[in-house]
A = this chain, B = another copy of it.
Amino acid sequence: MGTKKKIGILGASGYTGAELVRLLLRHPKVEIVLLTADRKAGLPLGEVFPQFAPYDLPRLVSIDEVDWATAALDLVFCALPHATTQKVLKDLIAKAPDTKVVDLSADFRLEDPAAYAKWYGHDHHAPELQKEAVYGLVEVYRRDIKKARLVANPGCYTSCAQLPLIPLLKAKAIEPDEIVVDAKSGVTGAGRSVKEEMLFTEVSEGFHAYGVGHHRHMSELDQEFSKAAGKPVVVSFTPHLLPMNRGLLSTIYVRGRRGKTAQDLHEILTKAYAQEAFVHVLPFGKTPQTRHVRGSNMTCIGVVADRIEGRAILVSVLDNMTKGASGQAVQNMNLMLGFAETTGIDQPAMFP
């Protein structure tokens, strides 16, 4: 066990924390040595997540108890709420500059301090780290991630929209001003926070949109789409809540540019992802289902011609807990620690 890398998870009592534990328990190159959860400090993880009761894992501690310098962690996953994150990571990196970090919050995803201030209503508390942070969508920023100390793991909605759209925007194959992203997510995307609107009775057997016209994830989309297109891109985006646990599907309406047909778009995507382990482009005309990526780190993308000349419909799916959060975080870790990219996250989806 001596040669395994030492890993910490901050915020292990939340769902993305649990998903990290699930994946890392079978990862052959790492060992979980630290688990924090402030309100549950002192408990074994198995009391918070009974599925881990049979496993040998460290007890939950509070972040204040941790001495980052002596802990000498190789890498920390930070799954803390917004704002807390900035303070904790600033402190951690100051005290243990050799510890690498994959942050699962939204706090380090925006590059532009002004954009951050606009969407979050206050200045960033760790602007130097914000500058240093690398946006962790592996398929786009693989090279930078390999050298990064701090990686900002992308959001689930944005990953699911970016993977089909970035190559098309880069290729200038679609009109950047006519993109509609209609997104639907399972409930785990909301985390474990205890709110009336997340009760079983309020969520099951029904469906609704939320944050219509003004969802925070839009800032992340704007940033990445604009970089890909080389000009400001603003898309219509609506998130919806599905009565199910895991899975995210985006239906994306685009218009081809300069004569590009739906089949051309399909070809661009097929080529772009030919070598990717975690992006699967379906045959032209086929569209994917969320259940077929459940629990896996796979993203599936389908391209169909709309019946309106010149338009195409893209459908992309991923598991918001895995490729949309913790799986992607492990993918980032693998790059940052020099492991093969698919280590520990190559399990097939669980269906049914």
- Say whether B313 contacts A212, CB under 8 Å: yes
Cβ-defined partner of A204 (8 Å) among B204, B249, B285:
B204
Q: Tell me the residues in window 276-299 of chain A with beta carbons closer than 8 Å to chain B beta carbons.
A: 280, 282, 285, 287-296, 298
Ordered nearest first, which 5 A-B pairs have the shortest CB separation?
A206-B291, A208-B289, A51-B349, A182-B182, A200-B203
Question: Taking the nearest CB of chain B, how far is it from the CB of A4, in angstroms?
Answer: 16
Q: Tell me the residues in window 194-217 of chain A with beta carbons closer than 8 Å to chain B beta carbons.
A: 194-196, 198-210, 212-214
In the complex, what distance in Å separates the CA atom of A51 from the CA atom of B293?
Answer: 6
Binds B, one of A66-74, A75-83, A164-172, A302-310: A302-310
- Tell me, yes or no, whether A10 is within 8 Å of chain B by CB: no
Binds B, one of A91-99, A106-114, A235-243: A235-243
- Say whether A195 contacts B192, CB under 8 Å: no
Q: 1/0 per residue A340-352: CB within 8 Å of B?
A: 0000001111111
- Tell me, yes or no, whether A311 is within 8 Å of chain B by CB: yes
Question: Taking the nearest CB of chain B, how far is it from the CB of A319, in angstroms?
Answer: 10
Binds B, one of A52-60, A124-132, A134-142, A151-159: A52-60
- Tell me, yes or no, whether A337 is within 8 Å of chain B by CB: no
- Say whether A52 contacts B289, CB under 8 Å: no
Cβ-defined partner of A240 (8 Å) among B184, B186, B282:
B184
Given A15-B352, A213-B304, A243-B243, output 16 extra A-B contacts at Cβ < 8 Å: A22-B349, A54-B280, A54-B298, A180-B180, A180-B253, A184-B184, A200-B200, A200-B203, A208-B249, A209-B287, A212-B313, A213-B285, A213-B307, A236-B306, A240-B251, A347-B347
- Say whether B350 contacts A295, CB under 8 Å: yes
Kindly list chain B residues whose C-beta atoms are within 8 Å of the C-beta of A194: 194-196, 199
Cβ-defined partner of A294 (8 Å) among B190, B202, B205, B243:
B205
- Tell me, yes or no, whether A50 is within 8 Å of chain B by CB: yes
The residue of chain B having its C-beta at the shortest distance from the C-beta of A185 within the complex is: B207
- Tell me, yes or no, whether A41 is within 8 Å of chain B by CB: no
Interface residues of A (CB under 8 A from B): 15, 18, 21-22, 25-26, 49-55, 178, 180, 182, 184, 186-188, 190, 192, 194-196, 198-210, 212-214, 218, 234, 236, 238, 240, 242-247, 249, 251, 253, 280, 282, 285, 287-296, 298, 300, 302, 304-308, 311, 313, 315, 317, 321, 346-352
In the complex, what distance in Å separates the CA atom of A200 from the CA atom of B50?
Answer: 17
Kindly list chain B residues whose C-beta atoms are within 8 Å of the C-beta of A26: 346-348
Cβ-defined partner of A213 (8 Å) among B15, B195, B282, B313:
B313
- Say whether A251 contacts B182, CB under 8 Å: yes
Given A53-B280, A304-B212, A350-B22, answer yes or no on A243-B245 (Cβ-Cβ < 8 Å).
no
Given A234-B307, A298-B54, A307-B218, answer yes or no on A290-B207 (Cβ-Cβ < 8 Å).
yes
In the complex, what distance in Å separates the CA atom of A292 from the CA atom of B45?
Answer: 13
The residue of chain B having its C-beta at the shortest distance from the C-beta of A190 within the complex is: B201
The residue of chain B having its C-beta at the shortest distance from the C-beta of A289 within the complex is: B208
- Say whether A208 contacts B288, CB under 8 Å: yes
